[in-house]
A and B are shown apart, each in its own frame.
Chain A
């Protein structure tokens, strides 16, 4: 752990591992308040033998206490409340989708993820190659995370959201817009290459 009065910069060097999806966050007191205002991030450690080719994305689940009353006012996947509800994530039919979900909501003890229209294989923390569940609903404690893998057979708009409905009505909800793979623009999904 390193602390500073701001403006400084330092470099961490470590050997990546274990395989999976991990969060990092500020550890300066008051930690809860810092986490409640977004001082954290995610890194992914890929296995040496690459995972199956997929349309990959990260969803960091956030809670924000904007008025300092010790309760979150807004929730989101990737920081902006309702963003994916108004800007649906475009995916295609019969293509593997891999979502790295990391729950960084503080103040509330749990959060969850629920998917419409299909079920996913769930890999807790992403550390094992064998899924623990085939489901459409996963509960996350604080900083709990995992990898979701699924496909859509049919085109359409499918919600994903917290099934803690309060969170979903305060920003943590979005939509997958599933298009026919024959119309797919492959450039769009050329991530990281």
Chain B
């Protein structure tokens, strides 16, 4: 008897969940479905996005996606606004969100700028400007190694060097230590803002409007912030109530946040090298390397009140640094603006989550945030980051 009651109440719940959906589907079918004439105003504007341009032997290859509201046909290709014979694979008809590869035989010159244009069946032309033509990089063993070495220089080594501040921080007086913790907040605040800026920039330059770049960054950042909050809490609980747990968990969260951020840096370097912007690539490497020593510091600071655990510290350095290598690989071999924006936005959420953790920790330890050494620390942290960022 009781079972039956339970079952029937469950069915009732299920029905009450489903009914609104059914009604919504009926309404949408009625308004937009076949034969519906209610919404027949306005003009639909087709749109395509040239997502990637590659330069190979005697050929320019453009990857195009239909990012508009209706199906289109690609009918013509041009280089620098001059029409060329071209092939399209698998075919010229693109349904919504479908993509194709356009191959244009062309004797391009390394280092020259090229504009690749595609015209669709209604006569509208879409263009992608490439500032510097460079042969597209193939994932050979040498290139994989090369990017791994660059990632090591940018990510791992500077972070490890930064960790060497550990003994210095651990000997500081209470108020000075507070200053350095706050300094970490400043560093991270700057990183978070810069990662958000970078993500929005990539989305506005390379992503079609359908992806709503800024909202994509906001959504992914917030979700990542919430998810990492959850994970962080679990981590703390699991580590037990020991005094060690707090600082180590915070350092780990910082390392993860910085790792995601460094993935973004790796992406930028890999992409710059692929795009043939050697000067930019070199500047990025030097700049990020200097910049990243401060990240090592950020990891070391919260752990400075605990016993020195070289193994753990080094592991955290790796967590923070190694993603730079993956970033360089992804940026170099399979550059996708959408993936880059998502990774950077995850990094933004991670960094802000870490900021909240450290602030809470300072509050727990010291009570007040408006303390002058805390305020000075945050300010100095941001200023240091700004100055080192000029080098990038």
Contact = CB atoms under 8 A, between A and B. Distances in A.
A66 B123 contact: yes
A169 B106 CA distance: 14
Contacts of B81: 166, 170
B83 A67 contact: no
A73 interface: yes
A67 B82 contact: no
A72 to B, nearest CB: 11
Interface string A58-91: 0000001011000001100000011000000000
A64 B124 CA distance: 12
Nearest to B79: A169
A169 B125 contact: no
Given A66-B119, A73-B119, A171 B125 contact: no
Contacts of A64: 123
A169 B83 contact: yes
Contacts of B122: 66
Q: Which of B82, B119, B123, B125 gathers the greatest number of chain A CB atoms within 10 Å?
A: B123
Interface residues of A, number: 11
Interface residues of B, number: 8
A171 B83 contact: yes
Nearest to A75: B83
A75 B370 CA distance: 71
B125 A166 contact: no
A108 to B, nearest CB: 14
A171 B81 CA distance: 12
Nearest to B84: A169
Contacts of B123: 64, 66-67, 73
Given A67-B124, A67-B125, 7 more contacts: A64-B123, A66-B119, A73-B123, A73-B125, A74-B83, A82-B83, A166-B81
- Those 8 A-B pairs whose CB atoms lie nearest each other, nearest first: A66-B123, A169-B82, A67-B124, A67-B123, A170-B83, A67-B125, A169-B83, A73-B125
